[in-house]
A and B are shown apart, each in its own frame.
Chain A
């Protein structure tokens, strides 16, 4: 009985962790050829309440977004935010 309770507790804890984990989103972006101009990408994305971390890799045309625990970001929001920064989205993968 104790083992059953312990197992249920552990499973509940694991589910809780999974439910609140953030999401990692890779966005392939067109037009990122200037680091000075591309700073707007970070600023616009970090202004979104769901976003925790933004990383930009000019060599791979890649913007990586990590959302805050328990949140997600839909493709439409990502595309619009990058358009506001002046760039075009080629692909979004999760």
Chain B
């Protein structure tokens, strides 16, 4: 009964946390993907085309709620798969993303640069990843936003290629844009073929819902 209640709580719980939509920034050659991450403090939408299995181009919209109010960014960025290790029972990746766009302030746009580095390692049972993302405001370096995200997860069962797969993930985030600098979020992830969804709740009781589709 307690385990079932915990499962229900995880599924229904809501979290707020700074999060980014950039998991799997590069997919298979010729693919398109749409990723959407939604929480009280952040909305992050990204549309990506992978030209090859090693690089892709994303167009992104981010809305971040900071201590100074809501900030909105639009920018394209290029993503590179710097290195991949394919083994029979695991895969590890290192990605780099760079971009330049603008922050919408009133009716004008201020130059903003973007830089991110991400690494992950996974098996069919376990998963860890770490990501550092920086939004560099050209107008004032004190306005830069730094976001760190670390994840660890496990699969309660090994789903087949054409089956529903499920994961439990614990996410730790740190951002300088919020007074509550640290956020810890347990998430549950489901994916089936080309569709992935995640939902979770953070330690403050705020919700998060993430969605990704490849096509």
Contacts and interface: CB of A to CB of B under 8 A. Distances in A.
Interface of A: 30-31, 33-41, 43-44, 56-59, 61, 83-88, 90
A31 B124 contact: no
Nearest to A63: B161
Interface in B67-121: 81, 84, 86-91
B28 interface: yes
A84 B28 contact: yes
Q: Which 5 pairs of residues, A with B, have the shortest CB-CB distance?
A: A40-B28, A31-B86, A30-B86, A84-B29, A88-B86
Contacts of A30: 86-88
Interface stretch (B14-22, B190-198, B200-208): B190-198
Given A44-B28, A58-B160, A84-B28, A33 B191 contact: no
Nearest to A30: B86
Contacts of B30: 44, 84
Interface of B: 24, 26-31, 52-53, 81, 84, 86-91, 122-124, 158-163, 165, 191, 193-194, 196, 214
B163 A35 contact: yes
B interface, over-half SS: loop
Contacts, number: 75
A46 B106 CA distance: 49
Query: Which of A30, A38, A39, A87 has the most chain B CB atoms inside 10 A of its CB?
Result: A39
B122 A34 contact: yes
B160 A37 contact: no
8 contacts: A31-B90, A35-B193, A58-B124, A59-B158, A61-B88, A86-B26, A86-B27, A86-B81
Nearest to B159: A35
